Amino acid sequence: MSAQRVVITGGASGIGLTLARRFAARGDRVALCDADAAAVAAAQEALPDTIARHVDVTDAAGMEAFLSEVETSWGGVDVVCANAGTGGPAGRIEDLDYDAWRACLDVNLNGAFLTCRWAARVMRAQGAGLILITSSTSGLHGVPYRSPYVAAKWGLIGLTKTLAMELGPAGVRVNAIAPGAVTGDRMDRVVAMEAAASGLTEDAVRQIYVKGTSLRTWVTADDIADMALFLASPAAARISGQVLAVDGHTESMVP
């Protein structure tokens, strides 16, 4: 398989950085953007051949500049990972702040719109390409007290299904990956927040996540990258419009 040209949003840490590392390790060209300037600088140092830019996915002009730079440099793109996301506020819906709700949807959903719109324009013209959207098992099951995040991740599944229909005839595939609870900084923060809110120990909260899966497991960022690399391979040439859960089979999302 020849080297691919891969764009990753939210690519400077966590799952996005692992995607960047894994695509780069197999010889692909990678461009990433992220809203965390320090993380972008570190990613650039770790992956010197990568185009790494400090851009917020909700900044339409910034995204346009970043993606135009990529298109000019590469002359096209093969894989676009709309991965940037944020957890948003937790709480009962009657207590949620409207601005916090909107900010969560803005990053998770509107940022993906800007990313996918550019990808669709380039890929339709090419007659080929793959869009990979990072949803979540939350978007498949729902999670109490996480309504903005769930609504956004559920919305991304609708976006995946619809774009697969719109772009399939042009030779473009669109799939979503739904990670379960992935080990790393983000889940450490979530576990600490949930432990503080519930009065449980962090270990007890972690056990709830493990016991909520059939395989009694957490997931790693490399598990997500394995799925992304498979979807970007010829073996997945007939897979589109799907939501691939990499989660140890979630049975319960109720904490």
Whichever of 161 and 186 has its CB closer to ligand NAD, that residue is 186
- 175 is an interface residue for ligand NAD by CB under 6 A: no
Q: Are strands 129-134 and 79-82 parallel, antiparallel or unpaired?
A: parallel
- Span interacting with ligand NAD, options 69-77, 93-101, 179-187, 196-204, rule CB under 6 A: 179-187
- Span interacting with ligand NAD, options 7-15, 96-104, 166-174, 193-201, rule CB under 6 A: 7-15
Give dist(CA 57, CA 36) in Å, integer. 11
Q: Name every residue whose Cβ is closer than 8 Å to that of residue 213 and which is 6 or more positions away in sequence.
A: 180, 247, 248, 249, 250, 251
Interacting residue with ligand NAD among 56, 64, 69, 226 (CB under 6 A): 56
Residues 13-52 that bind ligand NAD (CB under 6 A): 13-16, 34-36, 39
Q: Name every residue whose Cβ is closer than 8 Å to that of residue 39 and which is 6 or more positions away in sequence.
A: 12, 13, 17
3-state helix, strand, coil in the chain (%, to 5): 55, 15, 30
Residues 89-108 that bind ligand NAD (CB under 6 A): 107
Summarize as ranges the residues that interact with ligand NAD (CB under 6 A): 9-10, 12-16, 34-36, 39, 56-58, 83-86, 107, 111, 134, 136, 179, 181-182, 184-187
Catalytic residues: 149
